[in-house]
Amino acid sequence: MKTRLYLYDTTLRDGQQTQDVQFSTDEKHQIARALDALGVDYIEGGWPGANPTDNAFFDAAPKTTAKLTAFGMTKRLGISAQNDDVLAAVMNAGTKSVCLVGKTHEFHVTRALGITLDENLSLLRDSIAHLTASGREALFDAEHFFDGYKANPDYALSCLKTVLDAGARWIVLCDTNGGTLPAEVGRITAEVIAAGIPGEKLGIHTHDDTNNAVACTLAAVDAGARQIQGTLNGLGERCGNANLTALIPILLLKEPYASRFETGISQKALKSLTRTSRMLDEILNRVPQKQAAFVGASAFAHKAGLHASAIAKDPSTYEHIEPATVGNARIIPMSNQAGQSNLRSRLTDAGLKVAKGDPALAQILEEVKAREAIGYAYDTAQASFELLAREALGQMPDLFEVKRYRVTVERRKNKYDKMVTVSEAVVVIKVDGEKRLSVSESMDEDGNDRGPVNALSKALAKDLGQYSALIEDMRLIDFKVRITQGGTEAVTRVIIDSEDGQGNRWSTVGVSANIVDASFEALLDAIRWKLIRDLKG
């Protein structure tokens, strides 16, 4: 019989404490759906009442199998739990599970809260009792627990016993400052269990300030804790939280965890881990960390010639797991035969059939390599990759040709005597054997400037001759700009995500020293891909 471990994700709450991270409500919903598909047990959605996007998230909460959990703090002194408006806002989110953070470190009780140790115990007791009396599953985050236990073990333990007696389902030991090392986390967790707090009710919440958050989490599990808190990609305050993207495959694939424990995550869902990790980076407009364990692009990249040739004979020679189990892919030198078979499967995905050993394969690999060296990225821009491959395979239809384009940006007074910025784009294309010139401005119907790329996009779409009708349902849904290294120079890389009325979504890439030029290239690819797709079907 395997023991069940419960995974508690706090990407949307603690993860949002990362510097420069602020999720929109839509993004929070998207992340929650991805976490649910992965199979975590709890999704902490945020702190209702503390943050407007958290309120909006819970107001239109996605339907999930995972228990959506609202986070908050224990009630304040001098008000009853029923009358505490901060706690009421948390309860009003209406989640079945509620997690409240409270003090267990005497220094923080007397210093930060300025109340007596007994008064703190009464806050903990009343708050947790209020949750259970309201029929909620109660979780208690024991803030600064490890530091508090080292300072005064009796008091820290009496806090835990108080919330246990008040009906807490989970008591989560938090290493809030992230400075505790694995051996100490293991020892203290074992002592907590020996003192009468059952391991089946204990959770662990660690931070990565010494690069040990995952190791500390495992030490707590070894000692008997059964709930694991963490975030996708290790997002979180300061150096981040325990990284679920590493912990999940460890628990499912590595011993002794794989034989001793089970989680809510299936081997099938594990295959979506890399995709889920990259999706979060995509939302944050971050470069995915190449060397991330399990999900990084370099996690199964074999550069050394000796490794590569051994890998070709048997991948287990230089890999600790099969990359596909976590949805990642092996990367081997381009010239290698195995590199070609990877490429063939990518082409097949794009609907392009190429025979084994076709010389075009080596040519495509060379082209991809050369373009990536000057700043292109084809990991996400699958549509641009497909166009590149079509070109090399001689399967690129003649659609239209851009003869020239021009964009001007002007700052001027409008008819209301207000200073405005207006861009104007002129595009000349040759289609159906004829030259056509289109002009567009960057103003939308409400008179707002949408910028030069918008003007260009409108001019380009204005008259594509016989193809005009095909791109009518096409829409630009995201536009990401990144400065990257192209050869020895810094260049601008633009990634555009497009969508059409049939529910297709595709990404294209453009690179140039000039942002407008890079955008234009990505726009052109987006239109070409759409036309090829529609003309085929």
Q: How far is the CB of 246 from Zn ion (least distance, A)?
A: 17
**73 phi and psi, to 5 degrees?**
-120, 165
- In one-letter notation, the amino acid at residue 215 is A
Instruction: Tell me how far apart the alpha carbons of residues 160 and 167 are, in angstroms, rounded to a whole number.
Output: 11
Distance between CA atoms of residues 387 and 81, nearest Å: 62
* Residue 14 or 126 having the CB closest to Zn ion: 14
- 308-to-319, 332, 338 alpha-carbon distances in Å: 11, 6, 9
Rank residues 8 and 294 by Cβ distance to Zn ion and give the closer one: 8
Which of residues 9 and 424 has its CB atom nearest to Zn ion in the complex? 9
β-partners of residue 493 are 482, 511
Long-range CB contact pairs, 402-409, < 8 A, 24+: 402/427, 402/428, 402/429, 402/460, 402/524, 403/428, 403/429, 403/430, 403/435, 404/428, 405/456, 405/459, 405/460, 405/520, 407/452, 407/455, 407/456, 407/516, 409/452
What is the H or E stretch that residue 171 is in? strand 170-174
Least Å distance between CB 87 and Zn ion?
20
Report the amino acid identity of residue 112: A
Least CB distance to Zn ion at residue 10 (A) = 7
- Tell me the residue number closest to Zn ion, measured at CB: 14
In whole angstroms, the minimum distance from the beta carbon of 245 to Zn ion comes to: 17
Q: Which is nearer to Zn ion, 178 or 451 (CB)?
A: 178
Instruction: Give burial (CB, 10 Å; 0-12/13-18/19+) of 518.
Output: buried
Nearest distance from residue 207's CB to Zn ion, in Å? 6
CB of 31 to Zn ion, least distance (A): 17
Q: Can you read off the two tokens belonging to residue 354? A: 């190429």
Q: Which is nearer to Zn ion, 14 or 137 (CB)?
A: 14
Nearer to Zn ion, 49 or 230 (CB): 230
CB of 15 or CB of 48, closer to Zn ion: 15
* Side-chain half-sphere CA neighbours of 172 within 13 A: 27
- How many C-beta neighbours within 10 Å does residue 3 have? 12
Q: Which lies closer to Zn ion via its Cβ, residue 99 or residue 157?
A: 99
CB of 51 to Zn ion, least distance (A): 16
Determine the Cα–Cα distance for residues 170 and 193; give it in Å rounded to an integer.
13
Cα separation of 435 and 425, whole Å? 16
Q: Which is nearer to Zn ion, 172 or 273 (CB)?
A: 172
List residues binding Zn ion (CB under 5 A): 14
Give whichever of 231 and 498 is closer to Zn ion, judged by the CB atom. 231
| Per-residue b or e along 132-142, where b marks 16 or more CB atoms closer than 10 Å to that residue's CB | eeeebbbbbbb
Q: Sort strands 137-143 and 170-174 into parallel, antiparallel or unpaired.
A: parallel
Alpha-carbon gap, residue 108 to 400, rounded angstroms: 69
CB of 280 to Zn ion, least distance (A): 18
Phi, psi angles (nearest 5°) of residue 165: -65, -30
* Least Cβ distance, residue 370 to Zn ion (angstroms): 45
Q: How far is the CB of 7 from Zn ion (least distance, A)?
A: 16
